[in-house]
Structure 1
């Protein structure tokens, strides 16, 4: 009777899967995962965007600079131009910049694109040295950077369109979660809070085939038991099988499941216990015939950190130069709006617990700190925030809305007490109440922006802001910094979570 009920639920659920995808899905054959029409189309769009960026950048380089110092326009355009295009495309392919697993989410997509362009530039430069060609410098130092200027924004624009579709319930992959009730519920909640990742959990398998209300778990149908998972996957045609923690999953059973899923075209994803460790710190290797997941220590020094220091100092100097007219204009508005100093100085805690003076534009009336005790805290955890703070001036409200009050922090970055990207700089009274795990935020320099800035800022719960900061500390990379800086522009323009 139980098996018949499970089969009936699975058949009904499969019909609903087909209806929910509509024309976006074609089933290749019984027992195979559905082929979503948007997947190959999106991949083709990415390839074509890279091709277009490469051709346009190389063509523009040839038209604007090519005639100078060239023995023949025909030689320069046909030989070097076409060679550059072919080399860039081959390098992107070899660096798996078009791999379906990397497209549409995470910093890895942009990392692969950057590595592909860098590899092409290196090969092109070495070829120029071997051939003793002086014309090659034009393509290495002008054409390749120009390709990056076109390719990265085009990739980002395509990703934004994909994420918009996913938030509207389209372009999602059907997922079956298999694990304990608690871990499955947690994975369902995480997936629903981040639809841009592209997962739609449509079924759950538990040890006994039961959920919160027998047939459901957090609103998702429970279609069967863990021991029958492979059969449910083949019958339901799911694209992803997410294995969540459960005592049932022994190494032998996971291996047998992987064998049983062969030929189903379903991707098997195992959620590790180290949920907050990802990116460059995870490495899979085989030792003595066993697959081992190696977790390397966080990198707080070395060549990459030197590069970050250089980027911070040079970047802050350039930004101060570019925004100097805006800084002067804001200073004048603050003076005309209310009495008091233009700048507001406050003690904050930086790397390794060392205190420093953080500089911001003044957005409140003088002696605002003394009036804080009589106000209601609308912030989360240790943070004090108010959506409508009576101490904020008229100009200050505008500055806070678009984070313009933080521009003077560029002086902190230039002096070395802060970084362009990093955890939020805490107040001394906040850091004194930090637990041992939260104090790991102080292992790196605080930043003007960070994961907290591009994920909601003041709207975030305290626990979520801590989790994001710790994730940055643990999984830091130069690519992640670049992605955060790019997203910061959108967060500042929209003013989301700023008050």
Structure 2
């Protein structure tokens, strides 16, 4: 009886070993190049920060200069701190593939690595009574941490741009029912900056189907995934709903893929939920995904309101000279009013007067009806024109850099808007909203938001709603800070500004 049970297992194991023996050597992939470049770049940045700290330390008069003059103190310490910092980055997961290029977790891990380095070095100096210059220690992190974050941000931008042009891509097989395969592939193709190139689909049954309804070529059945992966030269296999009838079938597939370089990804039946709201808690081998409640209520409370008041106040002070020049230019061009007031729908569907610098001729609203045939979004609820003849010469300039929206900082101070939030909607747009779009109105509209940093007027209506709903459900103060920083880049790049 024992031999009868062992025989299938041995046969299975022998097939796996034979498959691995026939497998072609792993060729370098985009992700390997990226990770290697990040390691080299991090090392260079930390070395530069160390050198800067060593050179600047003696010039800081408020620190004790006698330590800096001791030969052999700072030099060896700098070498050791570079090594410790690189190891701390590795230990904190800053080079983990799952955290590269997406979200804020990569930057959080960089901060974790820096904090770990500071703690380890401080502890080592205390235990060994090593007289390390405090100025050098502080300067290394003051210079190094911002440089690391800026370097990672720049590297991410370069990689995202390369991926949009078809470079540094990972070849992906998607397994599941045809409907779920098409749904996942739609997302992967839409967000090409993620670097996933779908090469085929695997279906749970052997029905004679050449492609899914969306046109994804079918390469075989899920049970043959271990043989199809080397045939398609795949890097990643994505298992979505319907891929396996039982959990045991999935477990056996993972056994077959053991030892191969392919990465396995499971897509749960969840969508538009940030990683911060998800927590995996295995119970008796069963992976339970705990999902926190949507954050729409928290997105209108104290912390966000304090962020709005402080941020808008500082921005008003800094932008005051620019706002004065814009106002003067508008007045001199045609003698019309400087400000344009328009009724918009705010939080809980309360109307308010949204302030903007006037960028169109005074009779712009009266002329909208004659331009309706040229609306770029005729099938949606928005009115958009690529070349709007009502825009003035000054208006084109201030729209390009979003200067026309600076008066909305007053709306933020008054509590009618937020620095970050959904796009402020017109009453007639709200009347045409589908039911799910009304959730955008649970929070204050924003001066900027995911809609702006993702393309502004270039976005389709459905994408704008999807981004706004994602923001409302997954709000966090870290996300707000990230959007504000991305807004600066979007404004200077003038993406979708017309």
TM-score by length of 2: 0.83
Q: CA deviation at 1:113?
A: 2.0
Aligned to 1:292: 288
Secondary structure of 1:105 counterpart: coil
8 Å contact kept, 2:67–2:131 = no
* Aligned partner of 1:191 among 181, 188, 192: 188
Aligned to 1:17: none
Q: CA deviation at 1:232?
A: 1.9
Q: Return the alpha-carbon distance in structure 1 between the equivalents of residues 203 and 420 of structure 2.
A: 41
Aligned to 1:30: 22
Q: Return the alpha-carbon distance in structure 1 between the equivalents of residues 76 and 413 of structure 2.
A: 44
Alignment of 1:42-61 (within 5 A): 42-61=34-53
* Aligned partner of 2:335 among 334, 339, 343: 339
Secondary structure of 1:268 counterpart: strand
Secondary structure of 1:334 counterpart: helix
- Residue by residue over 1:371-419, the C-alpha shift from the partner in whole angstroms, topping out at 9 and shown as x without a partner, is 3333303335221222232322221122222222112222333444333
Change (3 A) 1:277 1:303: closer
Which 5+ residue runs of structure 2 have no aligned equivalent? Answer: 1-18
* Aligned partner of 1:160 among 149, 157, 167: 157
Please state if 1:485 is matched with 2:481: no
- Residue by residue over 1:201-251, the C-alpha shift from the partner in whole angstroms, topping out at 9 and shown as x without a partner, is 112112344586x26765543211233233323554421111122274433
Secondary structure of 2:237 counterpart: strand
Q: Return the alpha-carbon distance in structure 1 between the equivalents of residues 476 and 216 of structure 2.
A: 36
Q: Return the alpha-carbon distance in structure 2 between the equivalents of residues 125 and 357 of structure 1.
A: 55
Aligned to 1:111: 108
Aligned to 1:497: 496
TM-score by length of 1: 0.83
Aligned to 1:368: 364
Aligned to 1:4: none
Q: CA deviation at 1:302?
A: 6.7
- Residue by residue over 1:330-362, the C-alpha shift from the partner in whole angstroms, topping out at 9 and shown as x without a partner, is 111101112322122223233333433322111
Q: Judge which range, 316-325 or 41-50, deviates more.
A: 316-325
8 Å contact kept, 2:423–2:449 = yes
How well do the aligned residues superpose, as a CA RMSD in angstroms?
3.3
Aligned to 2:217: 221
Q: Judge which range, 278-287 or 363-372, deviates more.
A: 363-372
Q: Judge which range, 159-168 or 306-315, deviates more.
A: 306-315
8 Å contact kept, 2:421–2:447 = yes
Alignment of 1:322-337 (within 5 A): 322-337=318-333
Aligned to 2:55: 63
Q: Return the alpha-carbon distance in structure 2 between the equivalents of residues 178 and 41 of structure 1.
A: 27
Secondary structure of 1:486 counterpart: helix
8 Å contact kept, 1:33–1:237 = no
* Aligned partner of 2:94 among 75, 94, 97: 97
